[in-house]
Amino acid sequence: MPDSPCPPLVRVEPLGQSFEAPDSLTILEAAGFANLHLPRSCRNGTCRTCLCKMLSGSVRYTIEWPGLSREEKAEGYILPCVAIAETDVVIETEGARTLPLREA
């Protein structure tokens, strides 16, 4: 079967919002394009402000050593600011909110 041209979908729970996360963007960046605010600070994988749980799916990282312990990784925690969705992903973060749409 040929690869689907559609980028992976990321769903944010408990907000229930989904957005496309192309390979060229981190999950945090893709959320921003979709008018979704996720907790963040450093955006380079060190401060852990964006830490959240991945309920399903898989990601890869833009940096070699994201600030996660082996245990956290095993429990499914990810850092969306340096994570790229490889498949459809569901994450759980209490701090997500929809940004108001700008008036045209």
Q: Give the contact letters, 26-65, x = binds to ligand FES (CB under 6 A), - = no.
A: --------------xxxx-xxxxxx---------------
Nearer to ligand FES, 40 or 53 (CB): 40
Q: The tokens of 92 are what? A: 């759980």
Q: Starting at the earlier edge strand, list the strands of the sheet with 77-78.
A: 17-20, 9-13, 89-92, 52-56, 77-78
Q: Distance between CA atoms of 13 and 67, rounded to whole angstroms?
A: 23
Nearer to ligand FES, 67 or 76 (CB): 67
Task: Check: CB of residue 49 under 8 Å from CB of residue 39.
Answer: yes
Site residues for ligand FES, 63-92, by CB under 6 A, read 67, 79, 81
Interface contacts to ligand FES, rule CB under 6 A: 40-43, 45-50, 67, 79, 81
